[in-house]
Amino acid sequence: MSASRGKFNSRIGFILAAAGSAVGLGNIWGFPTQAAGNGGAAFVLMYLILAFCLAYPAFMAELIIGRHGQANAVESLRKVSKDGWQKKFAFIVGFGGILCAALLMSFYSIVAGWMLAFTAEPITTLVGATDTSNWLTAQSTSRNLIFTLIFTLLTVFIISRGVENGIERWSKRLMPALVALLVSLTVYVLTLDGAMDGLKAYLIPDFSQLFEPSLIVSALGQAFFSLSLGTSVIIIYGSYVAKNENLVSLGASVTLIDVFIAFLAGLLIIPAMYVAAAQGVQIFDANGALISGDTLVLTVLPALFDGMGSVGVIVALAFFALMSIASLTSSISMLEAPVSYTVERFGIARNTATMVIGALIFATSCLIIFNFNTLFGFVIALTTQYGQPIIGMLCCIFVGWIWHRSSLLEELKSGNEHVENQLFWKIWPWYTKLVCPVAIALVFIHSL
Ligand code: PFF
């Protein structure tokens, strides 16, 4: 089986693919709005602490399980388990993660569809197709169905091409485009009137909020979502990493890129909101808090772009193209989780597996679209507030309590001979064993 498995061909290929999974709507949309609503720089600071102290160790746990197993999430977890109950536990955690990834994709592709529709809108406006422009930007079942389908097909196309020709090649193309767009937009927005007020709101901390329980819960949830944890995605990507790669530095690179891009997105979005305010757009809600969620991205920012005149059309196009690209590099990782399992477990051809699973996920998206008010928020809460933290915590338990320490060390030594003498090995094993599960459980219980 291993001979037919895909593999990342280069270190940079893995870094860009894993960073592509990590960097998505969570960074460009979620992080800035959560920062805005939770004391600005205080949230940024807590996010940095939790991303490096809790999410990075959990990320490493999943990465190592995958690289050791060289198989889909269920099989990789089974390889570190010993007797009967451990193997069953491995199945529950691995399959739970796969289900979580598939469910995540069912709502993520709806939101990503909105981004595609908003990318098309400046073009229809430019050619004077006003009715189409209105249809593209207003919530409707038909628009949601069509753009969710287009987005799902794009994801299916990339995943059907496999690891090297699909995930790696497209991540290498899309990630640099994303960074270039993000940096250009940020530089541009920072030159506009009102941007400096936004910069202050984003960067000057209100330390009184730093230990607010709700801030900590939001920051941890955001860090887990952002690093794609608890979905078996990192286990799968880890399984495509060559044995001569240094996992400690690979994991650190991906975490750093993810945090950096989230921070950069904040430098774009928050100042952009204040620029919009300077142009008369409403950016505070009735309670005086900054507007967040879909109102921000789908109302405030388009109003800002409208106010810019003809250049606004280009900026709007660039901004929503950026959001679409970021979503695509994340959704491909979500689809890869169930596809790799099905291909390896049932010996089905990748093309067939991708199409069947893509169709099932699209059917779930349709169910959500037709029952939007009841299901949309429910599926988001189920996957991001419950599924991801619980499964992420169980992966830490696997590494800390089930996997034999000497076998774990052997895996880490592959590609990093001296890891035993490094700070990482002195801290990470007991940290993952004790601190991570307890801290995640505490935050999780609190969020309930
Ligand atoms: N990390 C992605 C984001 O920040 O948008 C979302 C995500 C991707 C979550 C893949 C989970 C996952 F498995």
Per-residue pLDDT of the chain (448 residues; tens, 9 = 90+): 444 678 888 888 889 999 999 999 998 888 987 887 777 788 888 999 999 999 999 999 999 999 999 999 999 999 999 888 999 999 999 999 999 999 999 999 999 999 999 999 999 998 999 999 999 999 999 999 999 999 999 999 999 998 888 899 888 888 888 888 899 989 999 999 999 999 988 888 777 877 888 888 888 888 989 999 999 999 999 999 999 999 999 999 999 999 999 999 999 988 998 998 888 888 888 777 777 777 778 888 888 888 888 888 998 998 899 889 999 999 999 999 999 999 999 999 999 999 999 999 999 999 999 999 999 999 998 998 889 989 999 999 999 999 999 999 999 999 999 999 999 999 999 999 999 999 888 877 776 6
**CB-CB contact of 105 with 361 (8 Å):** yes
Using CA positions, which residue lies closest to atom 13 of ligand 1?
Answer: 228
Nearest ligand 1 atom, CA 27: 4
Contacts of 230 (CB under 8 A, 6+ apart): 97, 100, 224, 387, 388, 389, 390, 391, 392, 393, 395
Domains and CATH numbers, the chain: 2-447 (1.20.1740.10)
17 lines ligand 1 (CB under 6 A): no
Measure the N-to-C terminal CA separation of the chain; round to a whole number of Å: 42
The structure tokens listed for 119 are: 């990318």
Nearest ligand 1 atom, CA 337: 13
Nearest-angstrom CA–CA distance, 311 and 320: 14
Long-range CB contacts (< 8 A, 24+ apart) of 385-389? 385/221, 385/447, 387/96, 387/99, 387/100, 387/103, 387/104, 387/230, 387/231, 388/100, 388/221, 388/224, 388/225, 388/229, 388/230, 388/231, 389/220, 389/221, 389/224, 389/230, 389/440, 389/443, 389/444
Residue 364 to residues 151, 357, 367, 416: CA-CA distances in angstroms? 14, 11, 5, 43
Structure confidence at residue 3 (pLDDT):
40
Nearest ligand 1 atom, CA 25: 5
Residue 75 to residues 232, 236, 306, 349: CA-CA distances in angstroms? 11, 10, 51, 18
21 lines ligand 1 (CB under 6 A): yes
Contacts of 61 (CB under 8 A, 6+ apart): 395, 396, 398, 399, 400, 432, 436
**CB-CB contact of 13 with 168 (8 Å):** yes
Structure confidence at residue 157 (pLDDT):
94
Using CA positions, which residue lies closest to atom 10 of ligand 1?
Answer: 228
231 lines ligand 1 (CB under 6 A): yes
What's the distance, CA 343 to chain centroid? Answer: 24
Mutate which of 334, 361, 385 for ligand 1 pocket (most atoms within 8 A of beta carbon): 334
Mutate which of 29, 104, 379 for ligand 1 pocket (most atoms within 8 A of beta carbon): 104
Contacts of 249 (CB under 8 A, 6+ apart): 416
Ligand 1 center to residue 150 CA distance, Å? 19
Mutate which of 226, 383, 384, 395 for ligand 1 pocket (most atoms within 8 A of beta carbon): 226
Nearest-angstrom CA–CA distance, 87 and 30: 36
Nearest ligand 1 atom, CA 29: 5
25 lines ligand 1 (CB under 6 A): yes
Mutate which of 225, 237, 391 for ligand 1 pocket (most atoms within 8 A of beta carbon): 225
Nearest ligand 1 atom, CA 225: 9
Ligand 1 center to residue 332 CA distance, Å? 10
Beta bridge partners of 284: 290
Mutate which of 222, 228, 340 for ligand 1 pocket (most atoms within 8 A of beta carbon): 228
Residue 51 to residues 201, 214, 254, 372, 442: CA-CA distances in angstroms? 22, 16, 11, 32, 16
Nearest-angstrom CA–CA distance, 54 and 436: 6
Rg (CA), the chain: 21
Ligand 1 center to residue 225 CA distance, Å? 5
Ligand 1 center to residue 26 CA distance, Å? 7
Structure confidence at residue 1 (pLDDT):
40
338 lines ligand 1 (CB under 6 A): no
Nearest ligand 1 atom, CA 232: 13
109 lines ligand 1 (CB under 6 A): no
Contacts of 44 (CB under 8 A, 6+ apart): 35, 202, 203, 205, 263, 266
Structure confidence at residue 2 (pLDDT):
41
Using CA positions, which residue lies closest to atom 7 of ligand 1?
Answer: 228
